[in-house]
Amino acid sequence: MRKRSFILIVSLALISWGGVTYHLFSQRPLVSRALRPGKLRTQLDQLEQELQAQVAANAELLNNLRHLKDKLNAPDNKTEAVVLGDNPTIAVLLFACNRITVKRPIDQLLKYRPSKERFPLIVSQDCNHAVTANVIKSYGNQLTHIQQPDQSDIPLVGKQKKFKGYYKIARHYGWALNKTFHDFMYDSVIIVEDDLELSPDFFEYFAALHGILRSDPTLFCVSAWNDNGKAGLVADSPELLYRSDFFPGLGWMMTKDIWLELQTKWPATFWDDWIRQPEQRKDRACIRPEISRTKTFGKIGVSNGLFLREA
Does the annotation count 273 as an active-site position?
no
Alpha carbon 127 to its chain centroid, in Å, reads: 36
Helix or strand holding residue 206 (H, E): helix 202-215
Q: How far apart are the C-alpha atoms of 222 and 59, rounded to whole Å?
A: 47
Q: Which residues pair with 288 in a beta bridge?
A: 242
Q: Could you tell me if residue 292 is left (phi over 0), alpha (psi between -120 and 50 degrees) or otherwise beta?
A: beta
Task: Name which of 147, 167, 155, 139 is nearest 274 in CA terms.
Answer: 167
Q: Which residues pair with 219 in a beta bridge?
A: 285
Q: Could you tell me if residue 196 is left (phi over 0), alpha (psi between -120 and 50 degrees) or otherwise beta?
A: beta
DSSP string, 236-304: S-TT-EEEESS---SSEEEEHHHHHHHGGG--SS-HHHHHTSHHHHTT-EEEEESS-SEEE-SPP-SST
Q: Which of 107, 245, 272, 283 is catalytic?
A: 272
- Enzyme catalytic residues: 272
